[in-house]
Amino acid sequence: MFDIPLLYYPVFILVYLAYKVVFPPLNFPRNIPTIPFYVNFLPILFGIDQLDVFRLYLAEPLERYGAVKIFFGSRWNILVSKPEYLSQLFKDENTFAKSGNQKKIPYSVLAAYTGDNVISAHGAIWRKYRNAVTNGLQHFDDAPIWENTKLFRKLLSKKIENGNSNRLSMVPLIQRLALDNISNVALGFDFGTLKSDNCPLHQHLLHIKKKIFHPFFLTFPFFDRLPIPSRVKGFKEVESFRRELVRKVQDDLITNFKFEQTTFASSDLIRAYNREELNYKQLCDNMIIILIAGHENPQMALTSMFYFLAKYPEFQELIREEVKGITESKYLLELPILNSFIYEVLRYYPPLNSIINRCTTRACRLGSEIAIPKGVYVGYSNYGSSHNTKNWGEDHMEFKPERWGKEIESIHNNWKYAKNSCKITSFHGGRRVCLGEKLALTEIRITITEMVKHYKWKLPNDWQDRVTPAGPLSPWALELIFEERN
């Protein structure tokens, strides 16, 4: 045996870490391309956005091979975009088992925030959660959404009046609309952000989100294991926000003397907790995920809707004509231009660009050719499947609502077909299909309807047209210039 001087240990550790980061593990499939590990840092280093990264590094290999090796979240993963592979991923849940942050990075601030919930759980636990929340998310009263859109309009008009400018920063405003919608429709309380500029729960949420979605800690959650003071504080703040939210929901529902008749997703969660089918942590984890998925995804989608309506203003006029006199959601479902426009936006900018939260439970093959070892994280690229020549033709980079069809029946059928054949995976598909799709689409239809009736808007000439640098996908720091219609 020979002694290695202590001095060399840090060097060995660094070399080992670099080796783990720079190259995929040796047992990863060799017949698919490797995306350079540094692509994650390009938005931070060079100010480019996630679609620049996609165009430069992912588009061609994904189009050609349908799957690539990619470094993300402190590990190497496999990212898939080919419909056949996606369909296998979505169907064979026993092999590609859901494994969310609570398993992948249990030591992280992000995992402390989201916990073990209906989106990330697997097997019997997932079924228990899904049973509790399905009814409330599928059957809901859309009246609060109409009401909130009116409050949203009032807020816009007030901002324009007070600021002496009709140029508005849209992200915080849309977030307020999305938060009030999900809290009213699914959680059974009013977040109240549209009525007050300084709602304490909202301020708390904004504060912790900055900590959770820090690009460095998202790429290297491993550092959350270290006693870094800001991260230690982050854990405490996340916990206090979760408790505050659940207390608010419980207080509002319990003081509601008709609690037993309420059908919110949160009422069913509380009932499952009262029957001891869920423990307190599971109750919190699922309440919080309804809040997170229920406001962040529609927020991204709505931001993109506003953007595309500004970029192609002819659709503001066409949709305005279509929605004239309509005040009920069921009639909005029948409008071809409105619905094909929405589907095209969801294809063009899928709010969740890529999702990596499945882990192989055994060595297996993706298709007949890609051999994957046990314990590997496999995810899917929504942008990759909806921007792909094989799936969408040579014009997939063009924004063309008419690609969905002319008649409303064929438009909805084409949307269903694209989902069933995994050519569009913006809402996942199969058994684990998004439970909030109906709610989100209702919210989007109502918001567009009310907005085009009362405003015209356009992009400022000096606004930089780019998308978010990483994570959820939508126009970055969207600003719009509004004009009220008479």
Residue 424 in the binding site for ligand HEM (CB under 6 A): no
Structure tokens at 170: 């849209």
How far apart, in whole angstroms, are the C-alpha atoms of residue 112 and residue 176?
24
Using CA atoms, how far residue 447 sits from 96, 101, 148, 388, 429, in Å, is: 37, 32, 9, 30, 25
Report the phi/psi class of residue 482: left, alpha or beta, with left for phi > 0 and alpha for psi in -120 to 50.
beta
Structure tokens at 2: 């020979």
How far apart, in whole angstroms, are the C-alpha atoms of residue 382 and residue 424?
7
Q: Are 451 and 148 in contact (CB under 8 A)?
A: no
Residue 436 in the binding site for ligand HEM (CB under 6 A): yes
Size of the site for ligand HEM (CB under 6 A): 25
CB of 429 to ligand HEM, least distance (A): 9
Query: Between 103 and 458, whose beta carbon lies closer to ligand HEM?
Result: 103
Q: Are 27 and 53 in contact (CB under 8 A)?
A: no
CB of 303 to ligand HEM, least distance (A): 11
- Give the annotated binding-site residues: 434
Residue 194 in the binding site for ligand HEM (CB under 6 A): no
Query: Between 238 and 346, whose beta carbon lies closer to ligand HEM?
Result: 346
Residue 351 in the binding site for ligand HEM (CB under 6 A): yes
Residue 128 in the binding site for ligand HEM (CB under 6 A): no
Query: Between 160 and 178, whose beta carbon lies closer to ligand HEM?
Result: 178
Among the listed ranges 8-16, 30-38, 423-431, 449-457, the one in contact with ligand HEM (CB under 6 A) is: 423-431
What is the Cα 166 distance to its own chain's centre?
29
Residue 432 in the binding site for ligand HEM (CB under 6 A): yes
Smallest CA-to-CA distance from 186 within 117, 238, 139 is with 139
Positions 43 through 62 that interact with ligand HEM (CB under 6 A): none
Residue 185 in the binding site for ligand HEM (CB under 6 A): no
How far apart, in whole angstroms, are the C-alpha atoms of residue 90 and residue 288?
24
Q: What are phi and psi for residue 455, nearest 5 degrees?
A: -135, 160
Which of 186, 194, 205, 470 lies at the binding interface for ligand HEM (CB under 6 A)?
A: 186
Query: Between 43 and 436, whose beta carbon lies closer to ligand HEM?
Result: 436
How far apart, in whole angstroms, are the C-alpha atoms of residue 254 and residue 258?
9
Query: Between 160 and 246, whose beta carbon lies closer to ligand HEM?
Result: 246
Positions 135 through 154 that interact with ligand HEM (CB under 6 A): 137
Buried b (16+ CB within 10 A) or exposed e, 70-101: bbbbbbbbbbbbbbebbbbbbebbebbbbbbb
Q: Are 58 and 384 in contact (CB under 8 A)?
A: yes
CB of 462 to ligand HEM, least distance (A): 29
How far apart, in whole angstroms, are the C-alpha atoms of residue 321 and residue 315?
10
Residue 125 in the binding site for ligand HEM (CB under 6 A): no
What's the maximum distance between 2 C-alpha atoms anywhere in the chain?
Answer: 87
Which of 130, 204, 209, 458 lies at the binding interface for ligand HEM (CB under 6 A)?
A: 130
Among the listed ranges 8-16, 162-170, 199-207, 436-444, the one in contact with ligand HEM (CB under 6 A) is: 436-444
| CB atoms closer than 10 angstroms to residue 17 | 11
CB of 293 to ligand HEM, least distance (A): 4
CB of 116 to ligand HEM, least distance (A): 12
Residue 408 in the binding site for ligand HEM (CB under 6 A): no
Q: Are 281 and 424 in contact (CB under 8 A)?
A: no
Which of 168, 177, 278, 301 lies at the binding interface for ligand HEM (CB under 6 A)?
A: 301
How far apart, in whole angstroms, are the C-alpha atoms of residue 204 and residue 96?
36
CB of 189 to ligand HEM, least distance (A): 15
- Give the annotated binding-site residues for heme: 434
Using CA atoms, how far residue 101 sits from 37, 107, 239, 287, 390, in Å, is: 21, 9, 16, 16, 32
CB of 475 to ligand HEM, least distance (A): 15
Which of 201, 287, 323, 439 lies at the binding interface for ligand HEM (CB under 6 A)?
A: 439
Query: Between 112 and 301, whose beta carbon lies closer to ligand HEM?
Result: 301
Smallest CA-to-CA distance from 118 within 127, 108, 110 is with 127
Residue 427 in the binding site for ligand HEM (CB under 6 A): yes
CB of 66 to ligand HEM, least distance (A): 18
Residue 80 in the binding site for ligand HEM (CB under 6 A): no
Structure tokens at 432: 């684990």
Site residues (vs ligand HEM, CB under 6 A)? 118-119, 130, 133, 137, 186, 290, 293-294, 297-298, 301, 351-352, 355, 357, 426-428, 432, 434-436, 439-440
